[in-house]
Amino acid sequence: MSTHLNHVVVTGASGDIGAAVVAACLERGAEVLAQYRTRKDRLSDINVRTGNLIPVQLDLTEPGAPRALAESIPLHWTGVDLLVNSVGGARPTRFADITDDEWHACRRLNVDVPFFVLRELLKPLEKAGGSVVNLSSVAALTGGSFGPHYAANKAAVIGLTRSAARSLGPQGIRVNCVAPGPVASAMTESLDPHTLDALVSATALHRIVHPTEVATTILNLATSPAITGQTLVIDGGRFLH
């Protein structure tokens, strides 16, 4: 199993956590295939060495897009050492206000995309003895403040992680998950200020998490050869277990 990060694929790379992961991998000298849908400027702002960042614009919820991502892997790569499924998110919505379309869109983005991307990258991951880190949320464990659509689908990501770890372990592929709490991001900025204050007050550290802290944890999981099938909560001590 590879503990080296030479070739990395990050989905949702222009998001707050995704961009932090891209920057951390580049700092380690990795080549990074960075999928984004919008906001390429977030990637352009990262100070990178020439040739190490490969931005790919795709909407991964579109049919065929996960395969197109796999086909974008450079021919000189010998495999994929790390896949970070960072794509995801939701709009805060009350239970009774969630529409059918919003429910299904949340599932496509947060569950379908990680599954289909992982399925398309199985061969290069196996070739490198690579690792996968999926992005869930502490909302999967607490119910969260964004609504049942987000909590339910992020819980499904944990189930997907465990099943994939058990199924793919014999192929030398490790699969883990991180479940951040309130992170300094566009998502937390969309919360009502009183709701956000309540979330922060409920943490043991009385602060929100920075995206770079999540990125560091992801890379630690990716380079720990005996860890698979685990979900690591990163929330400043709100959900204690």
- CB burial string 139-168: b at 16+ within 10 A, e below: bbbbebbbbbbbbbbbbbbbebbbebbeeb
Element (H, E) at 69: helix 65-71
**CB count, 10 Å around CB of 206?**
10
On whether the pTM is more than 0.75, the answer is yes
pLDDT at residue number 2: 63
Domains belonging to the chain, first-starting first, are 7-234 (3.40.50.720)
pLDDT at residue number 196: 74
**CB count, 10 Å around CB of 194?**
8
Q: Which amino acid, 180?
A: P
- Strand, coil or helix: what is 178? strand
From residue 71, alpha-carbon distances to 50, 64, 222 in Å are 22, 11, 23
**What is the per-residue DSSP string for 195-214?**
HHHHHHHTSTTSSPBPHHHH
Element (H, E) at 53: strand 53-57
8 A C-beta contact, residue 178 and residue 136: yes
How many distinct helices (H) and strands (E) make up the chain? 11, 7
Q: For residue 133, what are its two tokens?
A: 């880190």
Give average pLDDT by consecutive 10-residue segment, the chain, 241 residues.
86 93 93 90 68 90 96 96 91 83 90 97 97 92 80 94 98 96 72 74 78 94 96 80 68
Q: For residue 68, what are its two tokens?
A: 């197109």
Residues annotated as catalytic are 150
